[in-house]
A and B are shown apart, each in its own frame.
Chain A
Amino acid sequence: MMRVARLGAAGALAAAALACASAESGREIVWWTPSWGQSRAEVLADKFEAAHPGVTVKLEVTVADGLPTRIQTALRSGAPPDLIEAQHGWVVPYAQANLVQPLDDVLEDRADYLPAALEYDTWNDRLWGVPFRIETHALFYNRGMFREAGLDPDKPPQTWPALVDAAKALTRAGSAGRRQYGYAITGGGEVGNTLFRTLPLIWMNGGDIISADLRRATVNARPAVEAVTFYTDMLTRHRVSPPSTLQDDGLAIRRLFVAESVAMYQSGPFDIAPIRSENPKLDLGVMMLPTPTGGAPAAALGGWSFIVPKDARQPDLAKTLVRFLAESENMGYFTDTFPARTSAMTLPRFADPILENFKRMLPHARRLPAHKNWLQIVQIYFDHVQRVLVGDVPAQRAMDEAAVEIDRLLAGP
Chain B
Amino acid sequence: MAKAGQTKQTASTARKRRKAVLDRKKEAVDLKKENAALRRKLNEAYQQQAATAEVLKVISRSTFDLQTVLDTVVASASHLCEADKAFIYLRDGRGLYGIAANFGFSREFEEYAKQHPIAPGPGTVTGRAAVEGRPIHIHDVLADPGYTARKFQELGGYRTDLAVPLMREGVPIGVFVLTRSIVKPFTDKQIELVSTFADQAVIAIENVRLLNELRARTDDLARSVGELRALGEVSQTVNSTLDLETVLSAIVSKAAQLSGTEAGTIYVFSEASREHQLRATYGMTASLIDAIKDQHAEISKAVALAIEQRQPMQAPDLRTESPSVARDIMLQAGYLARLVVPLLAADRIVGALVVRRHAPGEFPKNTIELLQTFAAQSVLAIQNARLFREIEDKSRQLELASEHKSQFLANMSHELRTPLNAIIGLTEMMVANAARFGTEKAIEPLRRVNRAGTHLLGLINQVLDLSKIEAGKLELAPETVSLAPLIEEVAGTARQLAEQNKNRLTVDAQDNLGSLTIDPMRLRQILLNLLSNACKFTKEGEVNLRVRKVADGRHWVEFAVADTGIGMTAEQQSKLFEEFTQADASTARRYGGTGLGLAITRKLARMMGGDVTVMSEPGKGSVFTLRLPAGAVAAADQPVESASPGADCILVIDDDPTARELIGDKLKAYGFSVVTAAGGLEGLRLAKALRPCVITLDVLMPDLDGWSVLAALRQDNELAEIPVIMVTIVDEQRRAFALGAAGYLTKPIERERLQQVVGRLRAPVAPTRVLLVEDDEVQRESVRSWLGDRQWIVQEAANGREALARLRDSRPDIILLDLMMPEMDGFAVVAALQQESRWCDIPVVVITAHELSEADHKRLNSGVQSVLVKGTFRPAELVERIRRLVSRRGAGIAMEAHS
User: Do A and B interact?
Assistant: no
| Chain B residues close to A by CB (< 8 Å) | none
| Chain A residues close to B by CB (< 8 Å) | none
